[in-house]
Amino acid sequence: MTAYTGRIASTPRSRGVGSRIVASLLYALGLPMLLLVVWGLVATRATSRFFPDPLTISEAFVDTWVGPSFVDDVVPSLYRLGLGVAASIVLGIAAGTVIGLAPWLRELLEPLLEFFRAIPPPVLIPVVMLLLGITDTMKVVVIVSGAVWPILLNTIEGVRATDSVMKETAESFRVSWWERLWFLVLPAASPRIMAGVRQALSVALILMVISEMFASSSGLGYRIAYFQRNYLIAEMWSGILLLGLVGVVLAVAFGLVERRVLRWYHGIREVNRA
């Protein structure tokens, strides 16, 4: 009897979970599918060959990217993107923590940081090319030169905003400097740090494409520019579609990591809302 009632009680709950999943999928896919339908209708009436229909682009996508081109172009791009993002995270968090903890250092470096932050990273590509040559290191440096700033500045602000009462309490209990940094300062700054990483991912993806368009013999940016120069319009649109899919995958992966890292933070917000 208990097992039967438990099974009955769990049925509405499982249906509720299933309905929420279906609703989430409809919300996520409804608008893109509608836009594809509208695009297809417009493309059938348009006379310009520069706007092919979605079916033509999907065929070009399979022919272009499913095969050796994935290894020759997509994998190197993702490798450079991963290195650039990882280096930006390490440099941004390390430097931002040091600057945020030292008020005198923050005041000293603030004009310099604002100066370099205002320089568009694509402008630095010719300079980096002269210094490092046309190499993967050059492309990674270009990615870091733009992606590091959101992480650095958000880390500085997050460290500065650490609750002063909690810091004084930790000092009064003679908590060591490293323990205060690891268990108080960095967790308190982690929401801002994760916000900076989210911004850095989009910046890194843009700079990856730009660096490969300037000087490269492989990569998504190089291949899209090659298709554009040779008037391979459907193939060019398929590369843009692939870039969008990479961005979606990065956003989903980051969302999963963020929910795990900031689980305590989201829990506090849910309690406050209740």
How far apart (Å, rounded) are the C-alpha atoms in residues 106 and 117?
A: 15
Torsion of CA 48, 226, 65, 59, to 10 degrees: 20
* CA atoms lying within 13 Å on the CB side of residue 41: 6
Cβ–Cβ < 8 Å for 245, 174: no
| pLDDT tens, residue by residue, 237-247 | 999 999 999 99
Tens digits of per-residue pLDDT, 46-93?
A: 666 778 888 888 899 999 998 888 888 899 999 999 999 999 999 999
Which pLDDT tens digit goes with each residue over 111-164? 888 888 888 888 888 888 888 888 889 999 999 999 999 999 999 999 998 888
Of the pLDDT bands very low, low, confident and very high (cuts 50, 70, 90), residue 15 is: low
Confidence at residue 17, expressed as pLDDT on a 0 to 100 scale: 62
pLDDT value, residue 239: 92
The Cα angle at residue 253 between residues 21 and 14, in degrees rounded to 5: 20
pTM, two decimals, is 0.83
**Structure token digits, residue 142:** 């270009």
